[in-house]
């Protein structure tokens, strides 16, 4: 799994995750439970991770959906 988006915007992450699900791309949002430690303030960013074999397809889908500015660099 590779990080493709890092954000504290739960709506953005939920949208991106649903796009991955609709495309049949394995994904998960990491660090969701960290909000318990921070008191649900939304300061700690969560990460959308996708299957390494589908990273290019995932980036294309997210870019087409208008989320291109949210994508992490390929090297990260």
Contacts of 47 (CB under 8 A, 6+ apart): 3, 5, 6, 29, 30, 31
**So what's the pLDDT on residue 73?**
84
- What pLDDT is recorded for position 76? 47
pLDDT of the chain along its 76 residues, tens only?
999 999 989 899 999 999 999 999 999 999 877 666 666 566 788 999 999 999 999 999 999 999 999 999 865 4
Q: Is 50 helix (H, G, I), strand (E, B) or coil?
A: strand
pLDDT of amino acid 33 = 72
Quote the pTM value.
0.83
């Amino acid at each position: 799994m590779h990080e493709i988006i890092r954000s504290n915007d739960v709506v953005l992450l939920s949208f991106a995750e649903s796009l991955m699900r609709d495309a049949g791309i394995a994904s998960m949002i990491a660090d969701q439970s960290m909000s318990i430690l921070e008191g649900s303030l939304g300061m700690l960013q969560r990460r959308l991770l996708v299957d390494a074999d589908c990273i290019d397809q995932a980036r294309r889908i997210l870019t087409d959906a208008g989320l291109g500015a949210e994508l992490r660099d390929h090297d990260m």
